[in-house]
Amino acid sequence: DQQVKQNSPSLSVQEGRISILNCDYTNSMFDYFLWYKKYPAEGPTFLISISSIKDKNEDGRFTVFLNKSAKHLSLHIVPSQPGDSAVYFCAARSDRGSTLGRLYFGRGTQLTVWP
């Protein structure tokens, strides 16, 4: 059973507009959430993370929002650029118990930014 869910397999956005990628999770024990970006035929690269004790983290054009009560997080990209076109994976990790060290990934969202 997937503990991290990305329910939108794809998203298409015009250049310059905002991209919002969503992620839901079921395990309330997750302590950290990470976003990775993946281009075809390459490994994922880290983008941004957030601790469960925060509700927002910002890095340049990328902002991640966390709503713990709803078990929901979102990645905002503003402004979107064609080079942002990639698959985005949401991942979560717990610092406790038997799942220590494991990163749980969602199924990914393909973002396409068109000119």
Partner 1 sequence: DVKVTQSSRYLVKRTGEKVFLECVQDMDHENMFWYRQDPGLGLRLIYFSYDVKMKEKGDIPEGYSVSREKKERFSLILESASTNQTSMYLCASSPTLRGDVEAFFGQGTRLTVV
d(CA 6, CA 60): 23
Contact assessment for residue 30 and residue 49, using Cβ atoms and an 8 Å cutoff: no
CB of 57 to partner 1, least distance (A): 9
Query: Which position among 44, 75, 84, 85 is part of the footprint of partner 1 (CB under 8 A)?
Result: 44
Residues 6+ apart with CB under 8 A from 62: 35, 47, 48, 75, 76, 77
Helix (H, G, I), strand (E, B) or coil at 88: strand
Nearer to partner 1 (CB atom), residue 13 or residue 91: 91
Please identify which residue in the block is written with the tokens 């035929």.
Answer: 41
From the list 10-18, 20-28, 72-80, 88-96, the region that binds partner 1 by CB under 8 A is 88-96
Does residue 46 interact with partner 1 by CB under 8 A?
yes
First to last CA, the chain: 38
Task: Write the interaction track for partner 1 spanning residues 64-83; mark x where CB under 8 A is met and - where it is not.
Answer: --------------------
d(CA 54, CA 40): 32
Does residue 29 interact with partner 1 by CB under 8 A?
no
Binding site for partner 1 (CB under 8 A): 4, 6, 9, 31-34, 36, 41-46, 49-51, 89, 91, 93, 95, 100-103, 105-108
